[in-house]
Structure 1
Amino acid sequence: MPVGDDLFEKLRVELRRGSLILAVLGALREERYGYTLRASLEQAGLPIEEGALYPLLRRLEAQGLLASEWREEARRNKRFYRLTTDGEAVLAQLLAEWNAISESILRLTERKM
């Protein structure tokens, strides 16, 4: 029985959700404001809607992983985000976990020739 497009889409969204947290933390090793963060994620092949990005940024900031500040740039107020020290530590831990999971999945899904 083939998997329906709806089921695939639901599973894809679930898979991307956790991946986006890691991508956002990684991208914010360099200070960025929301628009440039979103553009860099899209350029890397991980597009995210504003309606999903900003709540994620607020949640990561509330968890102490990000810090933000309002600054004027090009005569506009922009909110800049960056990793905190805790955010850097969590990013390192998550990357190690991501790599371990990825290696396990590759071992489990390799086809024997």
Structure 2
Amino acid sequence: MVSDDILRIHLQELRRGTVVVASLVALRQPGYGYALLQRLADHGFPVDANTLYPLLRRLEEQGLLTSEWNTEERRPRKFYQTSDDGETVLRLLLTDLSAVQKSLTGLTEGVDR
């Protein structure tokens, strides 16, 4: 029997790559970090804050997200949104993800390409 730890490690690895895609999709509409954490978790992508915030900074540095501070509320919040370059990368990632899913389906169903 496979231990829970081994399964958890492999599920974490599988999810790690999809968090970028999920974040770019979710941030097509502006959002701040904590709300994004909740939204991702609500859709089956639980992410630790210590993972998400560095990811947001990295995606912003890469030009895939834009950000803007909202200082109108009691507590200033940094809002992120998928940039035009982010949309381009997202389209390519979604295409590749679809191809991977098709390949996996073929493998699991025994279909040759």
Which amino acid in the other structure matches residue 47 of structure 2?
Answer: I
Q: Percent identity?
A: 48
Shift of the alpha carbon at 1:67?
Answer: 1.0
Q: What SS does structure 1 have at the residue aligned with 2:56?
A: helix
Shift of the alpha carbon at 1:110?
Answer: 2.3
1:39 aligns with 2:34: no
- Post-superposition Cα deviations, 1:63-107, rounded to whole Å, max 9, x if no partner, equal 111111111243220000001110010000000001110111111
Q: Which residue of 1 is the match for residue 10 of structure 2? A: 11
In the TM superposition, 1:23-38 aligns within 5 A as 23-38=22-37
Q: What SS does structure 1 have at the residue aligned with 2:104?
A: helix
Q: Give the alignment's TM-score, normalised by structure 2.
A: 0.90
Gaps of 5+ in 1: none
Shift of the alpha carbon at 1:38?
Answer: 1.1
Gaps of 5+ in 2: none
- Alpha-carbon distance between aligned partners in 1 of 2:78 and 2:105, rounded to the nearest angstrom: 39
Shift of the alpha carbon at 1:3?
Answer: 2.5
Q: Which residue of 2 is the match for residue 56 of structure 1? A: 55
Which amino acid in the other structure matches residue 35 of structure 2?
Answer: T
Q: Which residue of 2 is the match for residue 76 of structure 1? A: 75
